[in-house]
Structures are given as C-alpha cells and as structure tokens.
Amino acid sequence: MKKLAGLALVLSCGGGSTPQCANNNCTLPSQDVVKFTFDAYPQWKFPMDSCSDLGVQQVQVDATDGAGVVTTLVVDCGEAQATFEGLEPGPYTISITPLDAGGAALVKAPVTTMLTSMGPGTTSSTAVNVPWDSWTQTYTGTYLFRLSWDGHSCAAAAPPVAVQELTLTINGQMFTGMTDTMHHMNGMDPEMCKPLEDNFPESALTVPFGPATLTVVGKDNGGNVHWEHTFDTFVGAGISNPTITYDVPAAPMDAGVDAPPDA
C-alpha cells in the first residue's frame, strides 16, 4: 500500500506547495518508437533473420532533425526497437546501423526512413527493415521446405506424384549442393516424392544467402510431367530458418499431357 501511495504522489501534479512535475507540467513527453527487422520478406514466406544469425550484438538508431542535430540511441539487438522520448516536434531522418560485438557496423551504409514527432503527449511507431543486400558479410543458411500438390501429399495428389525434380537458384546462380537425402537441386536429379506428412522437412545445408527461386517438377511413374511451378523465395542466414511449405498448383485442365483432343 505504501508503494501505491508513493506512486500516486509522484504522478500527481501541483497538489501542495511543492510541484511533483518539472515546471509544474505533468504532460508526458513524446514517445517515438522505431522497430527494426532484418531480411523480413513476408511475400516470400520468410519472416526475418535473427540477431544471432547475422552476428548483430547491438543496433544504433539515429534521429536527425532538419537542422542536422542527431539524437542517438544504442540498444541490444534482441530488444528489436528503440524509443526516443521528448523529441521536438517535426520530421526526422531515422538511420539504423546494426553493430557486431566490437561495435563495428555490419551494413555498408545505415538504412534510413522518415519519422514525424508530434510533440508532448503523443506516440508514434515506425518500422525499418534492413534488406539482404545491405550487409557487409557473406552468409549461408539452412534451407528447409516441404512440398504439397494442390494441397495434397504425393499419393493423394491428382494425378499422384511419384518423382520430384528440384532446381534451386540463388541470386541468379544455380545451387550446386544437395538435399539431406543426397539429391542435387539442379533439375536433373529425380528422387522419390517426399510426403508432406513426413516427420522432418527436406533441407539443404550451407546454401548461399539471398533471394532465390525454386522450380518444382512432379512426374508420374512413367516419367510424364503433370506438375511444374517456380516459386520466388528467400534463403536466410544461419541454421534457425523457418520451414516453408510450397504448394504446387494443379495445371489447367487443357494444359496437361493427358488433356483430351478437341472434338
């Protein structure tokens, strides 16, 4: 009860001869929150890379006003945001610089956005994503994925898929490695279709980091192609990447090899 009473006194304003707020003004300062993410690409089903994936220890956030005055905050990377309190009203250029354990920048140049502070008693929130091509280092990652065929597993697809062929290209270069089942991802190494419901997803290790395309071909037991689609995707850094499920759409009725001839 004493703590609650003390808190009430601190928050009260002007009650008694000694004001409890600076200049007898209890208006709260502005709070402008800058949230940061790394390599967030929801359009490619990739939520983001983590601090540990990229070796980021802290993040420096600078707010520069129209006169060139810079206010700087340095926060632990895991906080994922920095909050500026009491900025003067007006527009600010926000700069994000991820730092390694020694305080060195991990990006080629700060990543910027704009923020407008509205003054005392207001709050704002701005999000900044550090894109994949900003980093100074070269990364590789574990690529984890599952395949479905118009929402179904191999045997339940129509027509069923017996064999799959995969082609993975990163930044325009074909991946020369193999999956965990020792199959190349160069489009020329057929393997048995891996059921969607398997306990573990398919994976490939030490895949170069960056935007990628995955071309999936599904064949029947006779080697006839009934399924084919190319997905835009992303390979994140490190080993803690999400498993992405790619659903290969069914071919149009008049596009399959078994389509009946025109009457």
The domain ranges of the chain are: 28-134, 140-248
- pLDDT, mean of residues 158-173: 96
Pairing between strand 202-208 and 140-149? antiparallel
pLDDT in tens, 65-87: 999 999 999 999 999 999 999 99
Per CATH, 28-134 and 140-248 having the same topology is answered yes
Burial class from Cβ neighbours inside 10 Å (0-12, 13-18, 19+) for residue 220 reads middle
Question: What's the CA gap between 247 and 231, in Å, rounded?
Answer: 9
pTM: 0.84
- pLDDT tier, 17 (very low <50, low <70, confident <90, very high otherwise): low
pLDDT recorded at residue 23: 67
| Tokens matching residue 116 | 């407008």
pLDDT in tens, 117-151: 999 999 999 999 999 999 999 999 999 999 999 99
Residue 252: enclosing H or E segment and its boundaries? none
The CA–CA distances, whole Å, from 146 to 95, 115, 126, 151 equal 37, 40, 34, 11
CATH class in words for 140-248:
mainly beta
pLDDT recorded at residue 250: 87
**214 CB contacts (<8 Å, ≥6 apart)?**
145, 166, 167, 168, 230, 231, 233, 246
Quick check: helix, strand or coil at residue 9? helix
CATH class in words for 28-134:
mainly beta
- pLDDT tier, 4 (very low <50, low <70, confident <90, very high otherwise): very low
pLDDT recorded at residue 253: 54
